[in-house]
Amino acid sequence: MYLKDIIRGESYMKTPWEFLQYSRNKIKNPWKIAFVSAFVIGLLIHLPVMLSDIPNHDGLSSMYFDQNMITSGRWFLTVACGFSSYFTIPWVIGLIGMLWLSLSSVVLTETMELEDPLTIIGVSGLLVSFPALASTFAYVFTMDGYMMALFLAVLSVLFTQKYKKGWILGGVCLAFSMGIYQAYLPFAILLCVYVILLFFMEEHSVKEKVQYALRYLGMGIAGAVLYYVILQILLKLQGKVLDTYQGINSMEQGGSGQGLLTTLKGMYYDFLAFTLHGDVLVNNIFSFAACAVLLLSVVFLLVRRMFQRKWWKNPAFFVIIILLAVGLPLLTNVILIISPNLTYHLLMRYQWVLYLILMLGFTDRYAGENGKADIGIRWAALLAAWILVFNYGVSDNIGYSNLEKKYEKTYAYCVRLLDRIEQTPGYYQGIPVAVVGVIGYDEFPTTDITGKVTDGMIGLNGDYLIYKGADYQAFMKNYLGATLNFLDPDTVGEIYMTQEYIDMDTFPGANSTKVVDGILYVKTENCGRD
């Protein structure tokens, strides 16, 4: 209605204050609740990482990064991250990202047609607390762009739902969402499935149901085609090709070549493994109980409605159930079809939170307030949601705590290493330095005590920020102010095979640094020879 009023001119020629008052009155209460609750809960959970300037391993070299990742298929990322500048400023990036996330909660509330304030708060809480979001926050330099991608993904479904020709604009939103980060495509797909199922559960003709479902199919096809066309145009204009990172180039090559059946089998296995044993969705007895309560509530309401509407007499009902059972794992892991060879880490698994959100929304929609059973279900579902929000919020902050300790351990390690380098006989400023290896865990055993919680939380797990040779240079330059003359990886690789290097001690051994033929060798890890 708000947009229509503007078109009709009802808000024309108003003062800024009058326009703000007019706008405030046009914003629905559920929207206000969704936005404020998502923003406040999000700040309460993620404020530690927003107020610090602690990098993860990728952040070491991303203090300034223009986000030009078109060769990874992310042709709109540089625009999406441009609002906060390309400097890593966690507070500003975090606020912008939180605004996008809060708007996503608003759109999700409207799409699910939620009215109950407590349910809306529960949905917002789940959306902002799920550990996949904490992993995203760990990559803070790109977080605001990713949250914009999430917003556009949800918005694509809303446009398709509300307007008969909304699938066109929805397709545009989906294309730009994928142009930022392709991993939110499953989020949009699962939300589409939910909306379609709700429509099918109401009294509509077969023709109406088919036409309704085709709108979403059209939106998906239009979005995918538009995304790919824009990608190819920009690649041609810049004279670039898709790179091999995360197997994105397989999108043009028709998959991994390992066979469709093998891929499908892997998708089912991954779905079950992550759901049951990923230590993210369910990571303790409390989260297990809460998830079980939500699932049982949905099953009870669905079975009851089946008997009320006599769906059991219609074979189509059982066909839909079978299709859902077979199809949901595939739709959830659809990214594995697009890029089968990728490392499927937690940033790409945010769609799992939708299962919790949609189950909560389902109980709110179909549990009436007249019977004791229904009232009990509503209480149980809300309590389960809040147990999950609290549990996930705690997990997020355990991850943030470990990230800070990773930085401190890395800082202490690099200070010791830098001091040893500078004390090496023959050292002078500007001498070529070959740092070979990462960190020797025999010499520096793991001290992380958060593994049970953080092992699956990429960006927040582990002991150190050093994962590759270039990380040494980035850390020492950006955090220690040391501008050493590091050699290129190819030269370091040649040194790795020399007998001089093989005979050296591993740092902090006495013979872990020495000058050989004018090059300062630094052996940080006693790598094996395969």
pLDDT one-digit tens code per residue, 462-497: 999 998 888 999 999 999 999 999 999 999 989 998
In order, the DSSP letters of 46-110 are HHHHHS-----TGGGG-SB----BGGGTBTTHHHHTGGG-SB--HHHHHHHHHHHHHHHHHHHHH
φ/ψ of residue 508, rounded to 5: -95, 30
Max CA separation in the chain (angstroms): 87
Residue-wise pLDDT for 171-205, tens only, equals: 999 999 999 999 999 999 999 999 999 999 888 88
- The answer to whether 227 and 178 are in contact (CB under 8 A) is yes
Domain ranges of the chain: 2-400, 401-523
Average pLDDT for residues 398-410, to the nearest whole number?
96
Confidence of residue 250 (pLDDT cuts 50, 70, 90): low
- Per-residue pLDDT, 441: 83
Is 90 exceeded by the pLDDT of residue 287?
yes
The contacts of residue 483 (CB under 8 Å, 6+ apart) are 477
Measure the CA–CA gap between 252 and 242, rounded to whole angstroms: 9
pLDDT at residue 251 tops 90: no
Measured distance CA(477)–CA(483) in Å, rounded = 5
Lowest-confidence range among 67-71, 103-107, 414-418?
67-71
**DSSP annotation of 521:** E
The whole-number pLDDT of residue 203 equals 84
Please tell me the predicted confidence (pLDDT) of residue 512.
94
Q: Each residue of 34-58: pLDDT tens digit?
A: 999 999 999 999 999 999 889 999 9
Instruction: Give the pLDDT confidence score for residue 313 in this predicted structure.
Output: 82
> Cα–Cα distance between 41 and 175 in angstroms, integer?
30
Helix (H) or strand (E) holding 504: none
What is the arithmetic mean of pLDDT over 216-239?
96
Q: How far apart are CA 294 and CA 380, in angstroms?
A: 8
pLDDT of residue 529: 54
Which pLDDT belongs to residue 369? 62
pLDDT at residue number 198: 93
> What is the residue-averaged pLDDT of the chain?
90
pLDDT tens per residue across span 14-25? 888 878 887 777
Quote the pLDDT of residue 3.
45
Has residue 32 got a pLDDT over 90? Answer: yes
Kindly give the pairing relationship between strand 485-486 and strand 432-436: parallel
Q: What's residue 372's pLDDT?
A: 81
Work out the average pLDDT over 245-265. Answer: 64
Q: Is the pLDDT of residue 317 over 90?
A: no
Query: Residue 520: in which H helix or E strand, if any?
Result: strand 519-523
State percent of the chain over pLDDT 70.
94
Closest C-alpha among 49, 56, 156 to residue 97: 49
Judge contact between 500 and 516, C-beta under 8 A: yes
Q: Would you place residue 330 in the very low, low, confident or very high pLDDT band (cuts 50, 70, 90)?
A: very high
Q: What is the mean pLDDT of residues 397-422?
A: 96
Instruction: Give 7's pLDDT tier (boundaries 50, 70, 90).
Output: very low
| Amino acid (1-letter code) at residue 135 | S
Query: Mean pLDDT over residues 97-116, rounded?
Result: 97
